[in-house]
Amino acid sequence: MKQLITSICFLISLMYSFISYAQTATNEVIQGPFKTDLYPGGKIYFVKENDATPDDKCQTIAFMLEYKQNNQLKKEKIEEYEENGGCVELASVFFAKIHNKSYIFVMQKWEHSMPAIGLYGNSYEIHAYTKNKEGKLVMDTNISGDPNFSGTDGTVDEGMHHMRHYKYKTAAEVKKYLKQKYQ
Q: Of 22-26, 29-33, 93-97, where does the model show the most confidence?
A: 93-97
Q: What is the pLDDT of residues 47-74, one digit of tens each?
A: 998 776 666 678 899 999 999 988 899 9
What residues have CB less than 8 Å from 105, skipping those under 6 apart? 92, 93, 94, 95, 96, 126, 127, 128, 129, 171, 174
Q: What is the pLDDT of residues 79-122, one digit of tens each?
A: 999 988 889 999 999 999 999 999 999 999 998 776 666 667 88
- Strands 101-114 and 72-81: what pairing? unpaired
Q: Report helix, strand or coil for 15.
A: helix
- Comparing CA positions, the residue from 137, 130, 158, 30 lying closest to residue 88 is 30
For the full predicted model, state whether its pTM sits above 0.85: no
